[in-house]
């Protein structure tokens, strides 16, 4: 794929496409169409996701309205209580949550949510954006069902500037009012396959959904174009050794829902055929270093390091769990790796309105894609896949932490 095509695709597909939305479907159809143009049939495979229509979301501090967005899937109703800012999460700080609407820093993680619930919180407030930016954007957030586990309290997201003002001005009574229709919706994976001489499968993944405020050029239209370029590359050559499957995953931003749905629906013998997963999540930014994160035996890290040196490509490789669609594959025992070009946050941020084509370079994308294709070609050429089809214990441990099966002792 040349830089001109990359540039064209970046511009055509940079639009907000949240998991389960009509825009996500539109993007899925465009991706499937491009696969067909490269001579490979593609299928849009739906899966169920939570869906909510927010009717009303209000947040008041001492009776004064504060701009907010209600958390999807957090229930409906109203609650009034003293506001408490949970700056630390030690037992002493947590014990102050009882009967309060609790403001927390950062994302609403699984453990912090259950910590505040266990300590008697009656509502929650998160904030996002950046106090140093001019905008007053507020992201739309969701109380994910695997976070709530059915235990819901009302919550809102506000802008960081308001959060600072509220905390700076002393003690307050907060009120949350939410009205929403919760139900079930549909998101989709796009799946295309190039049959190989072997039944064993290398799976390429990239999520194509975005968050609410973002046009998702960098996160992760870039990776979606990356695996499309891999499909084009292999479709134009003689039959590959391994069967090559390409999955554009939906609803990754809502908690890796597409890759989880895919791996969970797969029969055991089909899963066994998958010998490697190559995932792309954010490549081709103007700034930033290229990394590989391998949820596999350490030998793959060393191999990628050697291969990159031989090829002449700067890279940093680590054995770890990456917060992307490679993780559900690794959790099913498939050696998985994610490639990414990680930009410093002051040059390209994600999950906000600043993730646009402006932070992208078609030339850099092409260099990244060429390297990824060269690596994939080398793996495909293997007479026998050298990567052990097992996940080492230290990676399994990290998967337990990442997937909230076990709590990491800090
Ligand atoms: Zn992403």
Collect the ranges in the chain with pLDDT lower than 70.
none
pLDDT digits 0-9 by tens, 145-174: 999 999 999 999 999 999 999 999 988 999
Closest CA to 305 of 320, 290, 286: 290
Length of the chain in residues, anyone? Answer: 410
Rounded to the nearest 10°, the torsion over CA 96, 73, 182, 138 is 110
Measured CA to CA, the distance from residue 193 to residue 243 in angstroms comes to: 7
CA of residue 122 to ligand 1 center, whole Å? 32
Measured CA to CA, the distance from residue 84 to residue 104 in angstroms comes to: 9
Measured CA to CA, the distance from residue 176 to residue 124 in angstroms comes to: 9
CA of residue 219 to ligand 1 center, whole Å? 5
Full set of structural domains in the chain with CATH = 3-50+186-402 (3.40.630.10), 63-171 (3.50.30.30)
pLDDT digits 0-9 by tens, 358-376: 999 999 999 999 999 999 9
Note the pTM of the prediction, 2 decimals. Answer: 0.96
CA of residue 323 to ligand 1 center, whole Å? 8
Measured CA to CA, the distance from residue 346 to residue 348 in angstroms comes to: 6
| Residue 311, φ and ψ in degrees, nearest 5 | -75, -30
CA of residue 325 to ligand 1 center, whole Å? 9
- pLDDT for res 169: 94
Are the beta carbons of 295 and 205 closer than 8 angstroms?
no
- pLDDT for res 409: 84
Instruction: Copy the structure tokens of residue 201.
Output: 């499968």
CA of residue 91 to ligand 1 center, whole Å? 33
Instruction: Copy the structure tokens of residue 153.
Output: 């309290």
Closest CA to 224 of 34, 45, 381: 34
Mean pLDDT of the chain: 97
């Amino acid at each position: 794929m040349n830089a001109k095509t990359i540039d064209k695709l970046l511009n055509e597909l940079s639009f907000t496409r949240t998991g389960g939305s009509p825009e996500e479907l539109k993007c899925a159809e465009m991706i499937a169409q491009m696969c067909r143009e490269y001579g490979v049939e593609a299928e849009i495979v739906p899966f169920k996701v939570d869906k909510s229509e927010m009717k009303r979301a209000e947040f008041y501090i001492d009776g004064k309205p504060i701009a907010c967005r209600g958390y999807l899937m957090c229930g409906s109703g109203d609650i009034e209580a003293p506001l408490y800012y949970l700056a630390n999460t030690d037992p002493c700080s947590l014990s102050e949550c009882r009967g309060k609407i609790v403001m927390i820093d950062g994302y609403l993680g699984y453990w912090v949510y259950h910590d505040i619930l266990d300590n008697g919180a009656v509502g929650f407030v998160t904030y996002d954006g950046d106090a140093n930016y001019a905008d007053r954007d507020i992201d739309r957030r969701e109380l994910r069902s695997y976070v709530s586990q059915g235990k819901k309290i009302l919550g809102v997201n506000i802008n960081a500037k308001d959060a600072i003002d509220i905390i700076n001005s002393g003690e307050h009574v907060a009120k949350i009012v939410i009205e929403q229709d919760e139900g079930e919706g549909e998101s989709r994976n796009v799946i295309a396959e190039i049959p190989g001489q072997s039944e064993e499968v290398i799976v390429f993944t990239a999520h194509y959904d975005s968050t609410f405020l973002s046009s998702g050029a960098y996160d992760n239209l870039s990776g979606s174009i990356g695996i499309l370029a891999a499909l084009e590359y292999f479709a134009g050559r003689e039959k590959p050794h391994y069967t090559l499957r390409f999955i554009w995953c939906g609803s990754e931003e809502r908690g890796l829902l597409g890759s989880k749905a895919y791996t969970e629906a797969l029969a055991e013998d089909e899963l066994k055929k998958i010998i490697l997963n190559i995932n792309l999540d954010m490549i081709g930014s103007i700034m930033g270093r290229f990394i590989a994160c391998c949820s596999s035996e350490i030998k793959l890290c060393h191999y990628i390091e050697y291969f990159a040196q031989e090829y002449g490509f700067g890279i940093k490789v680590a054995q770890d769990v990456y917060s992307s669609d490679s993780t559900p594959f690794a959790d099913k025992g498939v050696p998985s790796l994610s490639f990414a070009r990680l930009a410093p946050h002051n040059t390209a941020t994600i999950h906000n309105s600043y993730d646009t084509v402006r932070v992208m370079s078609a030339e850099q994308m092409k260099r990244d894609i060429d390297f990824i294709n060269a690596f994939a070609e080398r793996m495909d050429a293997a007479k026998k896949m050298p990567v052990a089809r097992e996940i080492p214990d230290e990676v399994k441990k990290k998967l337990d932490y990442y997937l909230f099966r076990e709590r990491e002792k800090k």
